Structure formats: C-alpha cells, structure tokens
Amino acid sequence: MQINKSLHDFLLNKAEQLTEEWYESLDKTGSGVYASKNPAVIENLKSQNFKFHRRLCKIFVMDREAFYEQFEGWINEVGSDPEHLETPTHLIMREFFRTREQYLTFLEEYIEHHAHAEGSEVTKEWRRALVEAIDTITMRVVEEKSNELNDQIEKQQQTINELSSPLILLPEGRALLPLVGDISSERAEAILENTLQGCTNKSIDHLFIDLSGVYLVDTLVAQQIFQLLKGLELIGVTSTLSGIRPEMAQMATQLGIDFGRISITNTLATAFAQDPIYNK
C-alpha cells in the first residue's frame, strides 16, 4: 500500500476524540474492565485505547511487518492485563468491532473532504487495510489473553499437585507421604516427580507412604506408584508402604508388580512401630 501521510495525520489528530467517544458510548452495565467504576482502571483503559489509536494510524505510513511489530508491546500489555483477563472475551471482541466502525466512519469523513482521495480502488484499499489491521490485532489480543490464562491455570494446577502430595518431614532423615482421595494419572505423575525431588533436596533416607486414604486407582496409577517405589530405591531411599486396600493389592498382583523388597504394613502406626528410630 502506498504511503499516505495525510490520512495518517488526519486519523492521528482524531485519536483523543476516538477514545473519548468510544468510552462515552461504552456499555458500562456488563462485567469486567468496561463496567469498572474504579478511576484508576478507567484511566488505564482510556490510556490503552489512546495508545491503540496512535499505533493504528501508522498502517498508512509503515510497511506491514514494521506496523505489526510496533503493536506487539501493546498487544502483550492488554492481553495480560488483569482487568482484561477478568473480562469475557466476547466483550473485548465487541469493543474492537465498535472501534472498527469508528474508523470506517472517520475514513468516510476524510474521503469526503479530500476530493483527490475519491478513487474507488484507492479507498477500497484503505478500508481493507483498516479492517484487516483491526481484525488481526483483535485476534492477537484474544490469543495473548488465552495464553496468559492457560499459563495461570497450569501454575495453579502445579500448585494443587504439589499440595496434594505433601512431604512431611520427620526426625532423623524420615518423611511421610500421606496420599488421600482419588489419584488421577496426572496427579500420580506429579506425585512421582515431586516426591523424588523432595527426597533428594531434603536428604530423606526413609519414606513412609500411607495409602489408607486412597479409595480408587486405575492400572496406570498403580504402575506410577510402583515407579515411585523403584525411583526411591534408585536414589537410596528406603520405603515403607502402609494402608494398601485389598483392591489395590489385587490389581498389583494382576499387573505382576513385585513389592518383594518393599516393607509393607497394614497401618501407618504399625509402620512407625517397626522402625528402629521410633521403637527405642
């Protein structure tokens, strides 16, 4: 597209007007950032909108690659903004589409007041450029928001997995891993990783694993527990299993899992009673 500084300057001069008109016409009865009554949030929202206009008009004075590159910082700022993260995505897209209509209206105004700009092919190209730019930026913001939310969910899940496999330190190089509730394949994998890492970092010599609170496991989970025991053996940690339910024992037998070198007791109390450290 040919450079058109006149159109760029025209839209740039409209930036503040665009922001004020957009905010005044905003539906503030919904949810998220657009409904906020916090002055600081409103000021930041207007600032983000104004920055958008100052960048968008550059579509008429920059090549395509440079234009989108100068938008990346703004896209990252809005897509990871806590207020926008709590705003429904369809509302964010709605506001981009309303902004697109604002630009098309101002473009018509520019064409009307510049007789030399009336060539149909040229004006079509301007409209196409604006629509494509706004739509592309809309999708990039939505994508950035989605990535940010996925990262948060992943971190939260990691925290949940860590909390669901607590390593309780005991005296003289002992530790207790009490497992409670249903163990999914994902949680079993997290337990394996967190426990091995925890035992290494905290110099654990003997780990008591209590399964009395585990009511349901599938084949894959039983194998993961066996892998945990093997992993502990490889890093020099002695294991004692307690509270194995009959159904788990039956599954282990069907899978051919050998607990021959693992100390097994029916209760955690019995496991402690048999340990020389606690049986002095």
Q: What is the pLDDT of residues 63-118, one digit of tens each?
A: 999 999 999 999 999 999 999 999 999 999 999 999 999 999 999 888 887 756 55
CATH 3.30.750.24, applies to 168-274: yes
Q: Report which of residues 201 and 164 the model is more confident about.
A: 201
Tokens of 8: 């760029």
Question: How do strand 168-170 and strand 174-180 relate by DSSP bridges?
Answer: antiparallel
What is the fold of 5-161? Globin-like (1.10.490)
Task: Give the list of residues 6+ apart from residue 20 with CB closer than 8 angstroms, or none.
Answer: 46
Burial (CB count within 10 angstroms: exposed 0-12, middle 13-18, buried 19+), residue 188: buried
How confident is the model over 122-126, as a mean pLDDT? 87
The answer to whether residue 50 scores a pLDDT higher than 80 is yes
Tokens of 53: 């206009």
H helix count then E strand count, the chain: 12, 5
Q: What does the mean pLDDT of the chain come to? A: 87
Confidence of residue 248 (pLDDT cuts 50, 70, 90): confident
Confidence of residue 164 (pLDDT cuts 50, 70, 90): low
Ordered by start, the domain boundaries in the chain are: 5-161, 168-274
Comparing 36-50, 57-71, 218-232, the range with the smallest average pLDDT is 218-232
Same fold, 5-161 and 168-274: no
d(CA 181, CA 183): 6
